[in-house]
Chains A and B, each alone.
Chain A
Amino acid sequence: MNFRVQAALTAVALLAGASLSQPALADGDVVCGSGPQAEWRSERDVRRRAFQEGWEILRIQIQGDCYEVYARNEMGQAIEAFFHPETLEKLVVFRRGREIYRREGFTG
């Protein structure tokens, strides 16, 4: 097998591998350590909880085992906050990928 063919096959194999490995859907995973979803508080409760922070809520979604809230805080900053689905505790908040809040002792 000549070198050109080898190179071609390697390239094809690597490109195929790269395209098959499906990119994870955003966000370095935050792990909230919650139980089964049946035990979770409702999205409405999360909305109320985030509203109490004084935020303008853009979106609430489930991310892994967390509730993730996209919002603007009282300073108008774009933030992403993770809440524990059972206790509705605010665990960690990111602003454009930079961590700006973490509950004491939370390591997930």
Chain B
Amino acid sequence: MSLDLSLPADLLRALAPELVLTVAAMAVLLVAAWRHKTVRDTRVVGWLALVALVATAAAAGWLWWNGARPVGAPVMVALDDFRLVVDWLLLAAAGLTVVLSFDYVERERLLAPEYYVLLLFATLGLMFMAGGDDLMVVFLGLELMSVSVYVLAGFNRRSPAAAEAALKYFLLGAFASGFLLYGIALVYGATATTSLTQIGTQVRTLGLANSPMLLAGLGLLLVGFGFKVAAVPFHMWAPDVYDGAPTPVTGYMATAVKTAAFAALYRVLTEAFAGVAAWHDIVGWLAVATMVAGNVVALTQRNVKRMLAYSSIAHAGYLLVAVAVGGDAGAGALLVYLVAYALTTLAAFGLLAAIGRDGEREVRIDDLAGLAQRRPWLSFAMAVCMLSLLGFPGTAGFIGKWYILVAAADAGRLFLAVVLVLTSVVSAGYYLPVIMAMYMKPEPFEQAHANVRLGRLGAAVVAASVAGLLVFGVRPNRLLDLAKATGEGLHAGPATSAAAPPSPPRPPAPSGR
């Protein structure tokens, strides 16, 4: 299906997933405004949110199934498999978060149905981020997401830690937005456009690769994205925010937000800055710093939630390796790793939500001692998650890490591969103690885990994720095919549209220079 995005009807079709979600989110907001009294109301809104997400996924699936491709001049949104596959991942992460939240909001008395509405709007923002083919759209999506997540992080009004988390996230998020905007402005100054495709064309045709203004803009963009993906040295906010936020929201931030940020970063770098070689090395060094610092600091954590926060920083480092590699292989590796990472992390946070109490801030690794005897299935799921995060063969995490290693080796970035391998060894030092506590240490006292309970829905989500981890770990062929095709589509798309003779890209406007 070819869609000429300059025609309104085709543009609407191309935006179908976002439009469906916008309308649905508005509708759910109205419902929430009318009915927000009882526990049942919250639950109903949750189910409606889930329906909205499924409908959006169906719209994205419709575009994907028909092989929608853009023709004609590039507009502000991209239309390629990369966008649609990332959309699916985001929607799946959001859907799992909603299901995991059902029991959690009731237990923690966070009874405001707006919780689910905010999740929907945040997801909408993420979809725009991942699908934007224009720096302005990316920025708008990022802001929509950020504002929603600021509120979600502080949703537990009674918890000082949540307030701290929200404020910290807000302040540093505002900083990051500032950096990003200034970067966009400088890039616009250098190239006279904010369209990613056209920036790429301008850099190539005008030989801007060494323009100081463009490089400064690139640097600021990297800082802005560095904040959002929590790359070292821009990670300081992450542990506190992850720690203070309600656990399902933490899971959402660690998976969906990170996924979209990485997708946007990857698109910006490979489309707009394909002609600037410098970013490969810069991102490479960011990756090294993130992997080393994230893993080493995670070693010292005694608190499970905080350990997972630092572990998610470490994983951002692995993902940055895939970004630094670039190319089709980098995109494929990025997608596969994001799928594996999102499944694992959501399941882990879901399990943590079941184990914990009082916002899970008090669950230390030692508190899990002897859990395996009381809750064998829950412990098994947690153990699989830890092994997948460690990148152990037989789990999806291993396939993801392997793909990144293959991509790095093929691109000749052996140093990054070696650092990834060595820091993975370090990570055994903090994932294994969780398994060790659950299986090898005795229960501290009778009934220590009596109130550990995973609701039926949560259990279903976790079971599905863990099954997915194991299946992808042994038989990843489909996932790899999808990722490969998607990665190739990302770079084939703009190239053909730029080279399409009937409708060449708009002539560059040289007025900016």
- Note whether A and B form a binding pair: no
Q: Which residues of B contact A (CB under 8 A)?
A: none
